[in-house]
């Protein structure tokens, strides 16, 4: 009997050690930001998302693509058709001409916002071996994505004295391994906003996170609205069923047949 206990104890210890190691991972706890899109009624701040697109376009797009977002869907965050046409036309895309040769044509609203590199190898070659991932789904692809991207972009700091940062790497306690191949992309005053919003690193980061949240889940608000409608419907149905049940069972409660 005692042997079995010891074996069980040994097993539990053996199983829980890797779990404990995982839990004590070396990354810093994320900063907690209050986002307008949090919660069951939350929505993406359209003004912030528009500014965030500007940040993406002027800063992030030199390394990161947004391959799941078409220019025309920017209408959803308030860009006009004319603006969208102009934005798309700034880029060029390959197409075949009548002779079957690859030629370039200006972008159309239906084109996806592709990255600057032709393929992953070229992207790595330009970034010291690191690969700048497509940002379309990054907010959904990482746990607590909005707070993660916010913490990462605002979290660059000096490494502790005993930490050796690899060549071409940057110390960032929010990235797994605490060093990242991307240098801090934003600094105060980098982007000039047309609406006069202060262009601090904090503000630009919040804006680009709003934009990336919208990009990752453009249907979020419709989904939330549907969820609320379903809850209202279910509550009314529950009340009706309760009343019906009371009526059906009333005679039984009274002891009648």
* Neighbour count for residue 180 (Cβ, 10 Å): 19
**Which residues in 2-61 contact ligand HEC (CB under 6 A)?**
55, 59-60
Stretch of 62-70, 75-83, 91-99, 239-247 lying at the interface with ligand HEC (CB under 6 A)? 62-70
Q: Minimum CB separation from ligand HEC for residue 126, in Å?
A: 8
Residue 71 or 150: the one with the smaller Cβ distance to ligand HEC is: 150
Q: Which two tokens stand for residue 89?
A: 């036309």
Q: How many residues in the shown chain lie near ligand HEC by CB under 6 A?
A: 23
Q: Which of 30, 49, 64, 154 binds ligand HEC (CB under 6 A)?
A: 64
Q: Which two tokens stand for residue 79?
A: 């860009």
Binding string, residues 132-161; x marks residues near ligand HEC by CB under 6 A: xx-x--x---x------x--xx--------
Stretch of 89-97, 177-185, 225-233, 248-256 lying at the interface with ligand HEC (CB under 6 A)? 177-185
Instruction: Say which residues have a Cβ less than 8 Å from residue 195's Cβ, sequence separation at least 6.
Output: 47, 51
How would you label 137-176 residue by residue, b for 16+ Cβ within 10 Å and e otherwise?
Answer: bbbeeeeebbbbbbbbbbbbeeeeeeeeeeeebbbbbbbe
Binding string, residues 188-217; x marks residues near ligand HEC by CB under 6 A: --------------------x---------
- Phi then psi for residue 107, to 5 deg, are -65, 155
Residue 47 or 54: the one with the smaller Cβ distance to ligand HEC is: 54
Q: Minimum CB separation from ligand HEC for residue 134, in Å?
A: 10
Tell me whether residue 97 is exposed, middle or buried, using C-beta atoms within 10 angstroms of its C-beta: 0 to 12, 13 to 18, 19 or more. exposed
User: Which ranges in the chain belong to alpha helices (H)?
Assistant: 2-23, 46-58, 81-89, 120-126, 138-141, 145-154, 201-216, 220-254
113 binds ligand HEC (CB under 6 A): no
Q: Minimum CB separation from ligand HEC for residue 50, in Å?
A: 15
* Neighbour count for residue 49 (Cβ, 10 Å): 25
* Site residues, ligand HEC (CB under 6 A): 55, 59-60, 62-64, 127, 130-133, 135, 138, 142, 149, 152-153, 180-182, 185-186, 208
């Amino acid at each position: 009997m005692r042997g079995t206990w010891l074996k069980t104890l040994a097993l539990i210890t053996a199983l829980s050690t890797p779990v404990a190691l995982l839990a004590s991972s070396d990354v810093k706890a994320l900063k907690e930001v209050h986002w307008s899109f949090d919660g069951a009624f939350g929505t993406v701040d359209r003004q912030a998302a528009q500014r965030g697109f500007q940040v993406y376009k002027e800063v992030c797009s030199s390394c990161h693509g947004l391959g799941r977002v078409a220019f025309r869907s920017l209408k959803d965050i308030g860009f006009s058709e004319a603006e969208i046409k102009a934005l798309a036309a700034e880029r060029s895309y390959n197409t075949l001409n009548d002779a079957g040769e690859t030629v370039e044509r200006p972008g159309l609203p239906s084109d996806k916002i592709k990255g600057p590199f032709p393929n992953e190898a070229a992207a790595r070659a330009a970034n010291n071996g690191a690969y700048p991932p497509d940002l379309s789904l990054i907010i959904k692809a990482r746990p607590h994505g909005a707070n993660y991207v916010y913490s990462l972009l605002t979290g660059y700091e000096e490494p502790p004295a005993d930490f050796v940062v690899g060549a071409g790497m940057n110390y960032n306690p929010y990235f797994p391994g605490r060093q990242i191949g991307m240098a801090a992309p934003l600094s105060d005053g980098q982007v000039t906003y047309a609406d006069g919003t202060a262009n601090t690193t904090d503000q630009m980061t919040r804006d680009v996170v709003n934009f990336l949240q919208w990009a990752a889940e453009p249907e979020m608000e419709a989904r939330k609205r549907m969820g609320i409608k379903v809850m209202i419907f279910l509550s009314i149905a529950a009340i009706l069923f309760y009343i019906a049940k009371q009526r059906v069972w009333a005679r039984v409660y009274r002891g009648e047949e």
